[in-house]
């Protein structure tokens, strides 16, 4: 079902890959739509700052694509947050030797150059989009890595398997942000395309707001839009209203 108009008192939470930008072959080959930065800036102004990005990507990576985004960002599946557009805080309690994790991931992936290793300050992703037949290999490797790194949790993603700190999640990030001045008391609206977004959609709905599933697939979201362009159109209609 198509979502209703964005409430004037919404707190808007937006996923990035597959939601604001189209999925691409590699994490670093995405194209940011020309109109996106201005759209986000206008939404931020219209909602008095209550706009946040909630992504599996790390915050520094997101800022490479949206350097002027003025709102809060929760990155690395909620393991880090930036509230002021500059400082990035870790928000998990896992004592992680991230360099050792990255080394181990690269060593395990080495037999298959088609597997792309994406390192993050609080975890790692192994992508098999270049050769989907390697899914089983990647799942096994990541299960081994998870066993060897207590405190890290497996996070399946689109053509990738990730490790994130246990206890960090997109729904946790939404709950944290909803407790802050500027967000508290507003109606949470969450848009996302992936399995990783479902708990956050449920959290928004449990708090009296709604979720929008972008694209196909099972969802708990009350509403759906077919893709990134449809979401952009819906957001632009909110700005025109």
Ligand X SMILES: O=P(O)(O)OC[C@H]1O[C@H](O[C@H]2O[C@H](CO)[C@@H](O)[C@H](O)[C@H]2O)[C@H](O)[C@@H](O)[C@@H]1O
* Residue numbers at the binding site for ligand X (CB under 6 A): 15-18, 23-27, 30, 55-57, 118, 125, 127, 129, 157-160, 162, 194, 196
- Residue 193 C-beta: closest distance to ligand X, Å: 6
- Residue 123 C-beta: closest distance to ligand X, Å: 9
Nearer to ligand X, 57 or 122 (CB): 57
Which of 176, 199, 174 is closest to 188 using CA atoms?
174
Nearer to ligand X, 127 or 213 (CB): 127
Give the residue at shortest CB distance from ligand X.
56
Place of tokens 């399995």: 195
Nearer to ligand X, 123 or 209 (CB): 123
User: For residues 157 and 196, is the Cβ–Cβ distance under 8 A?
Assistant: yes
Sheet holding 80-82, edge to edge: 89-90, 80-82, 72-75, 51-54, 10-14, 187-192, 210-214, 223-225
Distance CA 209, CA 217 (A): 21
Nearer to ligand X, 53 or 108 (CB): 53
- Residue 158 C-beta: closest distance to ligand X, Å: 4
Q: How far is CA 125 from CA 112, 133, 138, 146, 158, in A?
A: 15, 17, 10, 12, 11
- Residue 217 C-beta: closest distance to ligand X, Å: 13
- Residue 194 C-beta: closest distance to ligand X, Å: 5
Nearer to ligand X, 159 or 212 (CB): 159
Sheet holding 116-120, edge to edge: 116-120, 123-127, 160-165, 152-157
Residues taking part in catalysis: 15
Question: Which residues, in sequence order, are CB contacts of 69 under 8 Å at separation 6+?
Answer: 37, 40, 41, 44, 53, 62, 63, 85
Tokens of 146: 């998870």
């Amino acid at each position: 079902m198509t979502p209703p108009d964005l409430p004037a008192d919404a707190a808007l939470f937006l996923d990035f890959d597959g939601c604001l930008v189209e999925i691409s072959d590699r994490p670093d080959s995405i194209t940011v739509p020309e109109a996106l930065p201005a759209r986000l800036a206008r939404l931020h102004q219209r909602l008095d700052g209550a706009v946040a990005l909630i992504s599996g990507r790390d915050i520094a990576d997101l800022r490479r694509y949206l350097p002027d985004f003025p709102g809060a960002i929760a990155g690395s599946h909620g393991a880090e947050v930036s509230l002021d557009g500059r400082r990035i805080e870790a928000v998990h309690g896992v004592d992680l030797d991230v360099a050792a994790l990255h080394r181990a991931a690269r060593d395990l992936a080495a037999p298959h150059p088609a597997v792309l290793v994406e390192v993050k300050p609080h975890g790692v992703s192994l992508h098999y989009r270049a050769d989907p037949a390697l899914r089983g290999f990647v799942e096994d490797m990541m299960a081994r890595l998870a066993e060897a790194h207590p405190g890290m949790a497996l996070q399946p993603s689109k053509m990738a398997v990730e490790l994130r700190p246990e206890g960090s999640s997109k729904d946790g990030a939404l709950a944290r942000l909803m407790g802050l001045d500027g967000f508290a008391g507003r109606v949470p609206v969450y848009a996302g395309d992936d399995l990783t977004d479902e708990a956050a959609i449920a959290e928004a709905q449990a708090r009296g707001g709604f979720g929008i599933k972008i694209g196909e697939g099972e969802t708990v979201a009350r509403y759906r839009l077919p893709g990134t362009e449809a979401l952009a159109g819906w957001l632009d209609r909110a700005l025109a209203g």
